[in-house]
């Protein structure tokens, strides 16, 4: 196996271990990943509902959204739900400082190539939450989504029912 292959394998094993440790706080380092790495992380959690949120520190809606997701993460982390943040920022240190300042407790990764990540995951607007079940995309929500609606989405994925429709009367932000 080449040095690059060994490094990639070590990185993925570290990510899998990081995501499987319950109760680990927000002091963990932000890992920089490719779109392929993210697919492996999603697939490695196939016994869970995985909600992946794409966001950036410069997005005011995202800044409001992340603490709400962190609250839901704490509520559902022991109920076969994993929430993963993927930052589309350019500077890992700034992202690390941001998640520490905001007290974000769910795992946060950072896109190595945000254009590729955006293309592969069809990120046209942030925040974007993609819900996966058994490694397969179930549902996605663009823009601000009320925390109660996110919780309903998580519950519907856990129960195997249709996700609720987003409230069209809610103002877009």
- pLDDT of 164 reads 66
Q: How many domains does the chain have?
A: 1
Structure tokens at 67: 């603490």
Residue 169 in any domain: the answer is: no
Greater pLDDT, 161 or 106: 106
- pLDDT of 168 reads 47
- pLDDT of 29 reads 76
- Residues pairing with 86 in the sheet: 54, 109
CATH code assigned at 60? 3.40.30.10
Domain span at residue 133? 3-159
Structure tokens at 134: 């058994």
Mean pLDDT of the residues in the chain = 83
Annotate 45-79 with b (16+ C-beta within 10 A) or e (fewer): beebbbbbbbbbbebebbeebbebbbebbeebbee
Residue 165 in any domain: the answer is: no
Residue 92 in any domain: the answer is: yes
Confidence of residue 22 (pLDDT cuts 50, 70, 90): very low
Q: What is the distance in angstroms between the CA of the first residue and the CA of the last residue of the chain?
A: 48
User: Are 83 and 121 contacting, i.e. CB atoms less than 8 angstroms apart?
Assistant: no
**Dihedrals phi, psi of 94, to nearest 5 degrees:** -65, -40
């Amino acid at each position: 196996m080449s040095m690059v292959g060994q490094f990639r394998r070590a990185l993925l094993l570290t990510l899998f271990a990081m995501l499987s440790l319950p109760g680990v706080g927000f002091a963990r380092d932000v890992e920089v990943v490719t779109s392929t790495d993210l697919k492996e992380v999603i697939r490695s959690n196939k016994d869970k509902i995985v909600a992946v949120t794409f966001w950036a520190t410069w997005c005011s809606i995202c800044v409001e959204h992340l603490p709400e997701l962190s609250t839901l993460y704490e509520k559902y982390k022991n109920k076969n739900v994993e929430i993963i943040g993927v930052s589309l920022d350019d500077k890992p240190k700034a992202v690390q400082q941001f998640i520490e300042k905001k007290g974000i407790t769910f795992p946060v990764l950072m896109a190595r190539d945000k254009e590729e990540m955006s293309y592969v995951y069809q990120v046209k607007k942030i925040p974007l939450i993609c819900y996966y079940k058994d490694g397969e995309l179930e549902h996605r929500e663009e823009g601000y989504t009320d925390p109660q609606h996110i919780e309903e989405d998580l519950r519907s994925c856990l129960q195997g029912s249709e996700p609720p429709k987003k409230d069209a009367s809610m103002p877009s932000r």
